[in-house]
Amino acid sequence: MHRNPSRPLSPHLTIWRWGPHMLVSILHRVTGSGLATIGAAALVWWLAAAASGPEAYGTFVSWATSWIGIVIGVGLSWAFFQHTLSGIRHLVMDIGAGFELSTNKFWANMTLVGSALLTALFWFVVLGVK
């Protein structure tokens, strides 16, 4: 089989123009993996600490309320909201709607904006910011 050397073997990132819909698709996979691994590890640690007694639970609480724990919590909550909104977007696309380029880009951008706003709102409520 002869291949024309002036053409690429397959479409590559250099061929496609980067857009928000591509970012949201990649973030959907990354946030799902992050929620599954980091979220599961945090859940297991919390459950083990709760089952081990007050001292172990106190250690968990002190870690979870430290600055690093809050940063991880904010990251996990953003990942949750991003993954959820992106999943809803993909569900709508699975039924055949939203494939027009302008509509697709608009809703991709809205998942990014919505996840940031929902994360901020969530942490304002959690931290009791008035």
Binding-site annotation: residue ranges for heme: 83
Q: For the stretch 46-61, what's the b/e string if a residue is b when 16 or more beta carbons lie within 10 angstroms of its beta carbon?
A: eeebeeeeeeeeeebe
The owner of tokens 């709508």 is 92
- Burial of residue 68 (CB within 10 Å: 0-12, 13-18, 19+) is exposed
Q: Which residues are annotated as a binding site?
A: 83
Is the separation of the CB atoms in 123 and 116 below 8 Å?
no
CA atoms within 13 A on the CB side of 66: 8
